[in-house]
Amino acid sequence: MAAGMVGVQWLLVTHASDVTLRVVALALPDLIAAHVLTRALTVTDLSTRRRGDRR
């Protein structure tokens, strides 16, 4: 998967003349990685209550 993404990036950077296409090709993997890291490192529920605690 990673090799395919690098191959597509290389083709677009070396052969495409459209700047927007180049920016999208280089930024999309970074956005995907940022999303995955954010989901992995975000604590959504911190439950420290013990059984029988009434708060």
pLDDT score for 38: 94
pLDDT score for 16: 86
User: How far, in Å, are 24, 35, 47 from residue 8 at the CA level?
Assistant: 12, 21, 44
pLDDT score for 25: 87
Radius of gyration, alpha carbons of the chain: 21
What lies within 8 Å, CB to CB, of 26 at 6+ separation is 9, 13
Task: Report pLDDT digits (tens) over 2-49.
Answer: 898 889 889 988 998 899 998 988 898 899 999 999 999 997 776 666
Contact 12, 23 (CB under 8 A): no
Exposed, middle or buried, 12 (CB in 10 Å: 0-12/13-18/19+)?
middle
